[in-house]
Structure 1
Amino acid sequence: MGAASSRDAPDIQPRNQPAEAEASASESACPVPEAYRNPAVYNVYSQRINDPACPIALPQVDPRNNMPIEPNQMPSPGQRKLLSTSRATSDIPKGGTASTWTYPSPQMFYNALKRKGKDDGVTEDDMDSVVAAHNSMNEMTWQHVLQWERLRAHECGQPTLLRFLGRPHELSPLARLQSWRRGTLPFDRHDWYVDRCGKEVRYVIDFYFHDDKAGTPEAFTLRVRPAVDSLDAVVDRLK
């Protein structure tokens, strides 16, 4: 969702939903709200985490023991300072639910960087600003998605973010074309899957960092557009 939205950093994490864990096996006991017609609920790895028979989300579980997986909020080995475990709530509606996605805490972010070996030059003191940039970039991305979705407002007035996939090592066609022209390459790419009231549509997002503007709001830019997966997407792109 650079620090802002890279697989090199943790993506948005789904909020724990203990109140929803007692969903009845009866489909009638847990109907899909009208605004959220896609019953699927996914985690940050694009894995479905709810019972297909019931659209209400269940806790994410470890398939090895069927026990709930809790986010790692413990300090990493060698960590010198305690980091906040507080998690900010996003404004991005979470597909299949009536809630929103929740961002990682500074401790979760730091742990993910350490786990992936991407912590060179990163200190505990950097985490608050890194997490803030990550959250801001994702909020900005969603606003761009909503601008496109207004073209389909007659189909759905309340789109939600169903799932997303980081693809940092794959250039989108637009980024590849720009590379041929020796333009700036994106530091990350995401594919976001939006629930358009029961219809799943994919968006491609390229994230750019401009070294010559480092330290300014213009250092990060993004390009958001519908993936050309359907005739509707082609029409929207032409518009």
Structure 2
Amino acid sequence: MTKQKLHIVKIGGNVINDDGALRSFLKDFSVLEGFKILIHGGGNKATEIASEMGLKPKMINGRRVTDKANLEVVTMVYAGLLNKKVTAILQQNNCNAIGLSGADANCILANKRIVKDVDYGFAGDIDVVNSETINMFLQHNIVPVFCAITHDKKGQLLNTNADTIASEVAIAMSNLFNVELSYVFELKGVLSSIEDENSVIKEINLQKYKQLIEQNIISDGMLPKMDNCFNALKKGVQKVKIGNSSLIKKTTDLYTTLSLR
């Protein structure tokens, strides 16, 4: 039996930060045909609110260190303010969405990251994605919208990288669907020169990825994103792309496609 197609789209960066860009993207996402799932990061909002509360966010290797106070902030912002804003705008565009954290319907089970070289605090590493429950929403024509919060089924919420959630959800759903995973942010793709917005590297395989790291073309926050892309491809996801919202509208061929070979 031929698998049906499923679009999984992760949004972050200025697509989240800019209200106009967010509304424009969500309008385009709403008319995307077929089964779809949206996963969003937190943009700068959690950092802004934490700063207003006198909390200083700490980042290491592109990842947030989440102490107890910052966990409360990111939960309020990601699972509350942003998740419900996104869901409401989708409803405005006649897309019947449901806003979810990993704790809702036990969709994404994680564990608190084991301390090795760095203590990331209440950061979650994903153990299980409940694909059957997520599929239940899809089969009832409900679009799941996941924020970057998971849980450990012991009552503890965990801050989990949204790129990782996108990758792991895509892997889990690839058992049921032909999954196309898209990472959407403000850039047109992975750039060979950060000063040139059109210097998109159209295709990157594993070998080229290693070369780009050695050349310091890919670094910092792009590293975990790219690692998640290749992890998805290695574990059954059919296609992975990185670019701006034109990806969804299919109005450009200027984006980055990832492949293993």
Query: TM-score, normalising length from structure 1?
Result: 0.31
TM-score (norm 2): 0.29
| Higher percent of residues as helix | 2
Bigger fraction of residues in strand: 2
Q: Determine which structure has more spread, i.e. the larger CA radius of gyration.
A: 1
